């Protein structure tokens, strides 16, 4: 008996491959675009009160002078 989670993952993999006509270059381009759009979405939705690590480091360096 096959694990239902594995069956679902295999189905997703097979559907993605089929959507891109089993063309690896097409699939890689799609995944790169999706990755970059997801990153932009996370950055856009970030709380304005959250400082980046570099901003925090600059403030720490200034306060220690």
What is the residue whose two structure tokens read 């570099």? 54
36, two tokens? 């970059």
15, two tokens? 């559907």
Is residue 26 within 8 A of residue 20, CB to CB? The reply is: yes
pLDDT tens string, the chain, 65 residues long: the values are: 789 999 999 999 999 999 999 999 999 999 999 999 988 888 777 666 655 666 666 666 665 55
Q: What is the CA radius of gyration of the chain?
A: 21
Long-range contacts (CB closer than 8 Å, 24 or more residues apart) made by 47-55: none
Distance (Å, whole) CA 28 – CA 36 = 12
């Amino acid at each position: 008996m096959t694990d239902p989670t594995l069956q679902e993952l295999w189905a997703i993999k097979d559907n993605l491959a089929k959507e891109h006509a089993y063309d690896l270059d097409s699939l890689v381009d799609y995944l790169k675009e999706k990755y970059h759009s997801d990153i932009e979405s996370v950055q856009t939705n970030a709380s304005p009160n959250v400082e980046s690590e570099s901003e925090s480091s600059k403030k720490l360096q200034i306060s220690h002078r």
